Amino acid sequence: MTKEAVPRAIVHLDMDCFYAAIEVRDRPALRGKPVGVGGARERRGVLTTCNYEARKFGVRSAMPTFMALQRCPGLIVLPTRFDVYRREAALIRGILQRFTNVIEPLSLDEAYLDISAHPGAPGALAQVIRDVIFQKTKLTSSAGIGPNKLVAKIASEINKPNGQLEVTPNQVPEFMMELPVRKIWGIGAVTEEKLQQLGVKTCGQLQRFSRPELVEHFGKFGMELYDLCRGIDDRPVEPDRPRKSLSTEETFSADLTTIQQCDERLGELFEDLMAELAQKEATRNVTKIFVKLKFSDFTRTTAERAGLEPSINAFRSLLTEAFGRTGKPVRLIGVGVRFAEPKPQEAQLSLL
């Protein structure tokens, strides 16, 4: 049997305005009001996300907070609480695992699920999954259901927030026909522009090109484009291989000579690490935390400790320890965490 002949049912699940939804859930007085989550205007902060009330004003993820407040003066800006988001994500991951072992997390709040082996009808099953998530967390999500990742992901945006769309294999040709080419993964601004010059805006228009023609215009990616614009995508849902550690670091343009200077830089590094941790490894157990310093003479030292939660104070004490070892000027600070080795059972799952 060829790969294409195996019928698959893939769900792309994405929580709605995840961080903002958690903040509003935990502060019912904010319900119905525009809310953003991120750094304060005074600290030249950026929003991680905002709720749908704020989006009506043109506020968006990754927008500087001052700009968001210009667009929406009534916007309530709340600080991030990554530990809470991680906890919710772990809970949600646990719910998903009740339905399938084949889960590929894309970020903290987004995952592909392969539910082909489940006896339930795919659309009904996605609805059940979303209902259970809501019962347990009081958070809404959206889903796309399709025969592959490409279709499922595109479909999940269409009835967002708190909605879903199933595209059956028979419906794929019609679904693709009017779809803007930009919706295809791998097509960014540059390829879109090139396609525009060829008079192509929709996937249906792209389908008029032969495979050799597409290869001529787009090289190897042309081969894939031929399939993708028809809604054909054989990529499997691939469970993550757990990494052993996660860290973030910064090299400074001028060396830092005092512990106070180092300490001033630590806050931002810590925030970055927590954001990465929340996005990529929400459900893993941290066993150790560490601070790495590289000095002006390129020697380095690492201070690490087991059994501490990653908090700013814990990192601060490691920074003091590492700095105190030499007192040399510091050109780089890194902060990171190490994870528990996955249990054999989990490792097995990630190979499925």
Closest CA to 18 of 111, 124, 101, 96: 111
From the candidates 88, 104, 110, 281, give the one annotated as an active-site residue: 110
Total binding residues for Mg ion by CB under 5 A? 4
Which window, 25-33, 101-109, 130-138, 296-304, contacts ligand TTP (CB under 6 A)? 101-109
| Selected binder of Mg ion within 11, 14, 126, 164 (CB under 5 A) | 14
Longest distance between any two alpha carbons in the chain, whole Å: 68
Find the shortest distance in angstroms from Cβ 248 to ligand TTP: 14
The total of other beta-carbon atoms located within 10 Å of residue 44's CB is 10
- Is residue 335 within 8 A of residue 322, CB to CB? The reply is no
Find the shortest distance in angstroms from Cβ 14 to Mg ion: 4
Structure token pair of residue 81? 């609480």
Kindly tell me the number of DSSP H helices and DSSP E strands found in the chain: 14, 12
Q: Where are the beta strands (DSSP E) in the chain?
A: 10-15, 35-38, 47-50, 76-78, 103-107, 110-114, 141-146, 164-166, 245-256, 286-295, 300-306, 330-339
Is 321 part of the annotated catalytic residue set?
Answer: no
156 is a contact residue toward ligand TTP (CB under 6 A): no
| Selected binder of ligand TTP within 104, 110, 166, 281 (CB under 6 A) | 110
Phi and psi, residue 77, nearest 5°: -105, 120
89 is a contact residue toward ligand TTP (CB under 6 A): no
Q: Return the SS3 of 241.
A: coil
64 is a contact residue toward ligand TTP (CB under 6 A): no
Identify residues 31-50 at the interface with ligand TTP (CB under 6 A).
48-49
**Closest to Mg ion by CB, 104 or 109:** 109
88 is a contact residue toward Mg ion (CB under 5 A): no
| Selected binder of ligand TTP within 15, 214, 318, 333 (CB under 6 A) | 15
Find the shortest distance in angstroms from Cβ 114 to ligand TTP: 20
Say how far apart CA 279 and CA 49 lie, in whole Å: 13
Residue ranges that bind Mg ion, judged by CB under 5 A:
14-15, 18, 109
The residues carrying an active-site annotation are: 110
Residue ranges that bind ligand TTP, judged by CB under 6 A:
14-19, 48-49, 61-62, 107-110, 160-161, 275
